[in-house]
Structure 1
Amino acid sequence: MLAASLNPFYRQSDPFEPTPFLALLFQAPVKLLLYHAYNLITSLRSTPKPTQPLIRIVCISDTHTHIPQDVPAGDILIHAGDMTNAGSVAEIQTQIDWLASLPHKEIVVISGNHDTYLDPRTRPSLSEDERKGNVEWGRVHYLQHRRLSLTIEASSQDSSDGGERRPLLADNRSQRRIRIYGAPQIPACGPMSVHAFQYPRGQDAWSETVPEDTDILVTHTPPKWHLDLPLPDGMGCEHLLAEVRRVKPTVHVFGHVHWGAGKTVVWWDKGHDAFCQGMAVRSKWTHGVLNPRLWWSVVRVLYRGILELLWDRVWGGQSFNTIIVNAAQMHGNTGKLSNTVQVVDI
């Protein structure tokens, strides 16, 4: 990072590390404006209200053999992949045993690219000792291109107590049906023989793969331009984004890009369409400054975004939306878990 401090136009060589602001200002000034305009307007919109009685989803990812401390209580715990570093049976089993010991009613796990043993294509890269034995999942639900339907005995939330959840009385308990779909594939980021569940970047590995009635989608890769270090190029998958837009799940949980950790709401409206169209524009000359398509996207994001904001805040209307969660626990590439465990009530 010394080069970044000495050269304001330095471009980060590792795409999984954030590019310095001054470098982005030089490389993609209009996209930088577009990105911040879209996110500013989005941040001003109201939060989707959970259904009552609510279900609490606790989201983690990218623990890389570590065990997070103080995982919040909830109804469903989701781990969105990269439980391990080497991906051996022993590493995976240690993480599964820890997850199974937690008090959550249901625990759902998918694989990440570091969970090598779980992909038959990359399993041969492990030593014989690393492949020895079988993974015992116990009460943990492992989803690999699989749909899971859960019946959850829900709890209520009393808004008068500051948001604290209280159990329903025995005679007032109710159940909710939650449909979860999990898939581990990611755009290639390393050797195909070592990193699990990869496909060539740009290839469509997603269209028509997610069931339409999915409530919670769990993937390892982010959708492109959303909590994925979106500038200058974005580390997520554009085809996954299109699939999420088609299905519009209530929640989409992922990880993989550690620096993208966080939570936001995607509103599936024309302002979001303009944002994605602008971010997809490629300008080889003048870094987009003279590209009319990019500037038109900025105008559309501001215009449509303000209209949607007024409709939301003044008239109380809301577009279709998805809460997206980058649940990575690893803080960048530091090797330490310090990102916040994300909690979503639906």
Structure 2
Amino acid sequence: MVFETLLAWRKTKPQDPFEPASFPRLVFQAPVKLLLFNVFHLFNYLRSPPTPADPPIRVVCISDTHDSFPEEVPEGDILIHAGDLTNDGSVSAIQKQIDWLASLPHKEIIVISGNHDTYLDPRTRPSLSEEQREGEIDWKRIHYLQHRRLSLTLTIDPASSDSERARLLNGPKHRRIRIYGAPQIPACGPMSVHAFQYERGRDAWSETVPEDTDILITHTPPKYHLDLSLPNGMGCEHLLSEVKRVKPLLHVFGHVHWGAGQMVVWWDGCHDAYVKGMSTQSRYTGGLLNPLLWWNVVRVAYRGFKGLIWDKVWGGQGPRTILVNAAQMRGNTGKLGNRVQVVEI
């Protein structure tokens, strides 16, 4: 009876991958991965947050504004927009977003493209009408990164810091931050219209991000992280490998609107087991009879408990990256509604 129910469920209308799957669907489709996902995120939640440098740099993160303007953008040292400024990708629409961004008070403003910013990709630009292509983009004081690296030296005023130690320091302090931005995403629409796409499964990332990168900005999420991870994940597995190799302090992205939020990835055995389990393929039984998948659930629990003891008892933290899905659009509603993400590094 159970197997008949599972088979019947699989024959129902396919789930839109950019919409969250319902809990009953996940219970039938991927019950073991549902357990794995929640065990991993429970241990991740219980760990202490990483300690920022002193004085810290305050990074404000937004993405996927799609022609709209958030009502309130918190103050900060750096403002990052991780793509999809517009809906139609025309010059005039992009310029409106740039004009708004440039008017904000942040010391440095950094922007990358998204798949809806059609004009910015020479391959998709011909899909726009002549009127949509008319004019030139004036980036003003904004740093636009398209497979490009940027090094900034920021002056941090201790008087404006929440850090007690920073307020006691004499005079402003300078911090150098290295940033890399790249817009490419796994294909999610017509190649001639959606910008910077590559075929899903293709490796468009390995050895592309400089090793000394402090902040990485992409449009796509890394797979299984703030990307509607269940049942399949909409991010890129090759980007995940690249983020693990480089281990930036901060990785900002968007694209998957329902994945908005932030989390810390600790590059340890618990995370390795989580990724291995989530990438394990099971047919018909949703993983219930897959010993490899169950073994990774056990590994996540064991490694997660060890990491928690290392953190809470010994005060150890280890290599980590703060991941931020900064999408402002509330799902596919066409309206902004997600919180602007703020991180201190």
Scaled by the length of structure 2, what TM-score is found?
A: 0.94
What is the aligned partner in structure 1 of residue 332 from structure 2? 333
What is the aligned partner in structure 2 of residue 60 from structure 1? 62
Letter in 2 for 1:34: L
Moved over 6 A (4+): 165-169
Is 2:186 the counterpart of 1:174?
A: no
Letter in 2 for 1:30: V
> Residues 307-330 of structure 1: CA distance to partner in whole angstroms, max 9, x if unpaired?
000000111001200000000000
> Residues 190-225 of structure 1: CA distance to partner in whole angstroms, max 9, x if unpaired?
000000000000000000000000000000000000
Report the 3-state secondary structure (helix = DSSP H, G, I; strand = E; otherwise coil) of the residue aligned with 2:177: strand
Question: 1:231-250 to 2 correspondence within 5 Å?
Answer: 231-250=230-249
Deviation, 1:285, is: 2.9
Match of 1:17 among 19, 29, 32: 19
What is the aligned partner in structure 1 of residue 252 from structure 2? 253
Question: 1:243-282 to 2 correspondence within 5 Å?
Answer: 243-282=242-281
What is the aligned partner in structure 1 of residue 125 from structure 2? 123
Letter in 2 for 1:193: S
Q: Any conservation in 2 of the 1:61–1:83 contact (CA below 8 Å)? A: yes
Report the 3-state secondary structure (helix = DSSP H, G, I; strand = E; otherwise coil) of the residue aligned with 2:19: coil
Is 2:162 the counterpart of 1:158?
A: yes
Question: 1:1-346 to 2 correspondence within 5 Å?
Answer: 13-156=15-158, 157-159=161-163, 171-346=170-345
Letter in 2 for 1:158: D
Q: Any conservation in 1 of the 2:157–2:171 contact (CA below 8 Å)? A: no
Uncovered stretches (5+) of structure 1, i.e. residues with no partner: 1-6
Letter in 1 for 2:227: D
- Measure, in 2, the Cα distance between the counterparts of 1:137 and 1:158: 32
Letter in 1 for 2:296: S
> Residues 16-36 of structure 1: CA distance to partner in whole angstroms, max 9, x if unpaired?
000101100000000000000
Cα 1:222–1:328 change in 2 (3 A) is: same
Report the 3-state secondary structure (helix = DSSP H, G, I; strand = E; otherwise coil) of the residue aligned with 1:32: helix
- Measure, in 2, the Cα distance between the counterparts of 1:24 and 1:178: 41
> Residues 143-190 of structure 1: CA distance to partner in whole angstroms, max 9, x if unpaired?
000000001011343356xxxx99788x52110000000000000000
- Measure, in 2, the Cα distance between the counterparts of 1:192 and 1:30: 35
Equivalent residues, number: 335
Q: Give the RMSD, CA atoms, in angstroms.
A: 1.6
- Measure, in 2, the Cα distance between the counterparts of 1:167 and 1:46: 24
Q: Any conservation in 2 of the 1:224–1:238 contact (CA below 8 Å)? A: yes
Q: Any conservation in 2 of the 1:110–1:184 contact (CA below 8 Å)? A: yes
Letter in 1 for 2:292: R
- Measure, in 2, the Cα distance between the counterparts of 1:230 and 1:75: 31
Letter in 1 for 2:308: L
Deviation, 1:234, is: 0.3
- Measure, in 2, the Cα distance between the counterparts of 1:274 and 1:113: 32
- Measure, in 2, the Cα distance between the counterparts of 1:285 and 1:190: 29
What is the aligned partner in structure 1 of residue 5 from structure 2? none
Report the 3-state secondary structure (helix = DSSP H, G, I; strand = E; otherwise coil) of the residue aligned with 1:36: helix
Q: Once the two structures are aligned, what percentage of the paired residues are identical?
A: 70
Report the 3-state secondary structure (helix = DSSP H, G, I; strand = E; otherwise coil) of the residue aligned with 1:266: strand
- Measure, in 2, the Cα distance between the counterparts of 1:333 and 1:167: 44
Report the 3-state secondary structure (helix = DSSP H, G, I; strand = E; otherwise coil) of the residue aligned with 2:264: strand
Deviation, 1:287, is: 1.3
Q: Any conservation in 2 of the 1:12–1:18 contact (CA below 8 Å)? A: no
- Measure, in 2, the Cα distance between the counterparts of 1:25 and 1:265: 26
Letter in 2 for 1:189: C
Q: Any conservation in 1 of the 2:54–2:166 contact (CA below 8 Å)? A: no
Scaled by the length of structure 1, what TM-score is found?
A: 0.94
Q: Any conservation in 1 of the 2:55–2:163 contact (CA below 8 Å)? A: no
Cα 1:281–1:167 change in 2 (3 A) is: same
> Residues 5-54 of structure 1: CA distance to partner in whole angstroms, max 9, x if unpaired?
xx987665311000101100000000000000000000000000000011
